[in-house]
Amino acid sequence: MPGFELFGDSERKQVQDVLDSGVLMRYGFDGMRNGHWKAKELETALAHRMQTSYAHLCSSGTAALTVALVSGGVGAGDEVIMPTFTFVASFESILAIGAVPILVDVDDTLTLSPEAVEQAITPNTKVVMPVHMCGSMADLGALKSICERHGLLLLEDACQAIGGSYYGKPLGSIGDLGCFSFDYVKTITCGEGGAVITNNERFYENAHKYSDHGHDHLGNDRGAEEHPFLGYNFRISELNAAVGLAQISRLDEFLAIQKRNYTILRDALSKIPEVTFRRVPEGGVENYSFLNFFLPTEEITQKAHKALGENGVDACFYWYNNNWHYYRKWEHLLEQKSLGKLPKDIQQGLPEYEASDFSKSDHWIGRTISCLIKIGWTEAEVQQRAIKMAETIKGIL
C-alpha cells in the first residue's frame, strides 16, 4: 500500500485507451468510445473479485458511503452507529444526508465494539457501520447478529481493507452494503474513486441512479432518460476507472508483497515481550496494509512513536493525536462547526459528545502505533527497517 508505488505499463495502456477515444465520461457518447467502457469493466471485475452480484463506482470513498446510505433508505434523523476511530469521511457522509452519526467505542480489534454497539441502539437507529481500519476487520459475526436481531442494516466501510477476508468471504461483501475507496494512497488506486458493492438489487438500482442525478439509465438516449427520484453527481470518470481497472488485476500481486513485508516486521517485533498486536477476529485475514501494535502505556507509546521518526522510520502513525482519524481532534463535529445552518434533525439528534466517555477507545488507541506497509520496499529494505524498529522500541522500553 499504496498501489501508485508500482504504476507501470498496464496503467498507462488503460489510460491511453481512454485518451485515444476522447471520451472521459462514463455515460453516453457510445459511437466515439471504440468499445471502451472502463467504468463498466471495473465494476464487473470488482463484483467478481468481491463475490457480489453488483458493484457501482463513485467519485470517491466518501461518495460511496453517502450513496450506500441513501441507497439503503437512510435519511434525515436516522441514526448511524460508527466507531470513534475512523476517517472523517465516515461522519461526513452521514451528515451529508441529514442523518446522525452516533460514535461508539472500539475494542482491541481497533474497530467497533459489539458490546458498545448493542448499548447504543435506539428506536432511531438505522445502520451499523463498522470501519475496517488499517487493513483488518470488525467482529462481523457479532455485528451481523446484532443487526439481524434489531432489523438494522450492516454497512461495511472496507475503504482501507480491500483484499482482506472473513471466513473466506471478501471484506465488504458480508454486510448488506460494502464500500471501498480507491484514492491515491489505497492498496489499489484510481487516483480518486470509490465503489459500493451489494447483493441487493434494489440497493444497486438506487445507487447507480442516485449517483448520476437520478438518471434511470434505461435505453440508449441519455437525454431521454427518466428520473425516478432526486439524485446528485457522484460519478467517476473513465480516466480514473481506467487506472483502477489496471490496478485491480494486480491486487493479488500487491497483497503478496504487503504480506511479505508485514510478516518480516511483525516477526521482529514479536520478539519484544512488551509488544502486543491488534486482535484479528477468528476467521479473519488482514490485507496486511498496516502493522498495528500496542505498547504498555500511552506515555511509552508516544515516546516510541517520536523515537521511530527521529531514527528515520517513517510512515508510522500515532492516531491518538491525529486530527483526521480519532474523535479527540474532531472539534468541527463535536462543536457542530458548519458553513451554514445544520438541519434541525442533526442539531437535535447529535449527542453531547464533549461530555461523552470514550475511555475504552482511549485505552486502545492511546497505546497503538500503526506502521504503513509499502509495496515499493525491497526485501532487504524491510529487513533493515525491522532491525531499526526493534532496536528503537527496545531503547524506549
Residue 237 to residue 67: CA distance in whole angstroms: 17
Q: Would the CA dihedral through 101, 107, 110, 114 be positive or negative? A: negative
**Relative orientation angle of helices 238-248 and 38-50, to the nearest 10 degrees:** 40
Q: Is 222 helix (H, G, I), strand (E, B) or coil?
A: helix
**Relative orientation angle of helices 38-50 and 9-21, to the nearest 10 degrees:** 140
Concatenating the DSSP letter of every residue in 248-298 gives: HTTHHHHHHHHHHHHHHHHHHHHTSTT-EEPPPPTTEE---SEEEEE-S-H
Nine-digit cell string for 89: 469521511
* 186 is an active site residue: yes
The catalytic position among 126, 186, 209, 374 is: 186
Q: Would the CA dihedral through 163, 165, 168, 172 be positive or negative? A: negative
**203, 36 Cβ separation under 8 angstroms:** no
Q: Mark 71-110 as b/e (b = at least 16 C-beta within 10 Å).
A: bbebeebbbbbbbbbbbebbbebbbbbbbbbbbbbbbebb
Distance in angstroms between the alpha carbons of the first and the last residue of the chain: 29
**112, 131 Cβ separation under 8 angstroms:** yes
Residue 284 to residue 156: CA distance in whole angstroms: 14
Which residues are identified as catalytic? 186
